[in-house]
Amino acid sequence: MYKINIIIQMKFRKEYDTIGKINVPNDKYWGASTERSKKFFDIGEIYVQKVLIKSIAIIKKSAAIVHKKDKQINSKIANAIIKASNEVIKGNLQNNFPLKVWQTGSGTQTNMNVNEVIANRAIKYLGGKLGSKKPVHPNDHVNKSQSTNDVFPTAMHIAIALETKSKLLPSLNLLNKELMKKVKKFKKIIKVGRTHLQDATPLTLGQEFSGYQSQLKDCIARIKIAIKEIHFLAQGGTAVGTGINTKKNFDKKICREISKLTNLNFKPSNNKFAALAAHDSIVNFSGTLNTTAVCLLKIANDIRFLGSGPRAGYGELDLPANEPGSSIMPGKVNPTQSEAVTMVCVKVIGNHTGITIAGSQGQFELNVFKPLIAHNILQSIDLIADSSKNFAKFCVRGIKANKNKIKNDLENSLMLVTALAPIIGYDKAANIAKKALKNNTTLKDEVIKSGLMNEREYHKIVDPKKMTHPA
């Protein structure tokens, strides 16, 4: 038996920055700045989201297009940058973005990571040597007319807008659609209402679900309003908002190119100083996600409570059985989709708290909590989108009403006595309800026993259907 030791010799190239030289893996397109960042910001396990990298690449491509048109960059170099940016946008170079979220508060390391990858890839197209910064320089060419301070907030806005359009709104609309179907399907099913977790007057199951659907519809409307602010970009403000090292109207020109690439209508921010130093529009947008989380938490909890049982719970809803619910209790089925949604909601609410605090930390001309804000908002969008879609497909769509349980609970409800109050008075009605509870009898039994009315009169007044709407 022979023991074989295999040593894989990784090959490196020398790259340099203003600090000095550093070894960079030969098979990677990142440069010195990224390599240093890997060492000094090796914090946690959370990496910068792919959509943020994509959004930065969209900025780099758009800038190169503008510079090419304005003859600020040689066409050959600009075309190489555009080609390399396209690869990043498509996700083809994803293993070249190794940085964690927790870095400098402006996001400089991530911006430079993208600059270096695009520059080195462009160098390869043009037959140059990786790491040489010739003929394509990560700062002078890829980052031309830009600063991390305006690139990163612009990328945040682009990423939020893209994810909202492609994922968040479609998922919420799907859930809204499934809830609408239940509103219609359950409109004739009369059930016991509950307030303070106690029996209350009747309503239809459709009316109950209409409350959920209305909540969600309003959340969707809020998101559509809040996203309008996100379409204003910081790009063109450069370091502190003045636009130093840009040409006049660069902000307008790059916004037009970004709009073309994303099929979204982006415009320059009305005030670049505010766009760099504060992120109120993102805090506001996060607020709509926070409200959506509150809404979904209420809906998911109600549905899992109404589906509790099968014999010792409320049992009004039959929820889809997607998977076994217990490792020890055979036959158990749990409301797993509801539970997943509620956990997501708690996380989103927590994310909003983080964004709120981070948004308040804009000292002078720069907010230095940008990576945290970006991570939290994009994670919240992603979680709400995925959980809403799953909740719609694997729970709400398959919900059925347990009509027998609902009917039995309704017939035994003491709160039907509310219909008697206008006829016999509040005090007498309350006394009837208390006697029925004490004697374990029905309201009808106690009313007839009291001599206040006969059976025919009782049924004429106490009609659950009539109690679900104004007289």
Catalytic annotation, residues: 196, 326
Whether the CB-CB separation of 116 and 138 falls below 8 Å is answered with: yes
- Show the tokens assigned to 45: 């396990």
Nearest CA to 467 out of 430, 413, 431 is that of: 413
State the CB neighbour count (10 A cutoff) for residue 331: 9
Question: Which residues make beta-bridge pairs with 363?
Answer: 366
Amino acid, single-letter form, for residue 289: L
Rounded Cα gap, residues 299 and 314, in angstroms: 16
Rounded Cα gap, residues 434 and 422, in angstroms: 18
Nearest CA to 213 out of 235, 183, 242, 234 is that of: 183
Whether the CB-CB separation of 90 and 202 falls below 8 Å is answered with: no
Q: At 417, phi and psi to the nearest 5?
A: -60, -20
Q: At 458, phi and psi to the nearest 5?
A: -60, -50
| Residue partners of 468: CB distance under 8 A and separation at least 6 | 190, 202, 203, 204, 207
Rounded Cα gap, residues 12 and 22, in angstroms: 9
Rounded Cα gap, residues 42 and 46, in angstroms: 10
- Show the tokens assigned to 290: 């926070």
State the CB neighbour count (10 A cutoff) for residue 185: 15
Q: How are beta strands 317-318 and 267-268 bridged, if at all?
A: unpaired
Q: How are beta strands 190-195 and 198-204 bridged, if at all?
A: antiparallel
Rounded Cα gap, residues 309 and 317, in angstroms: 9
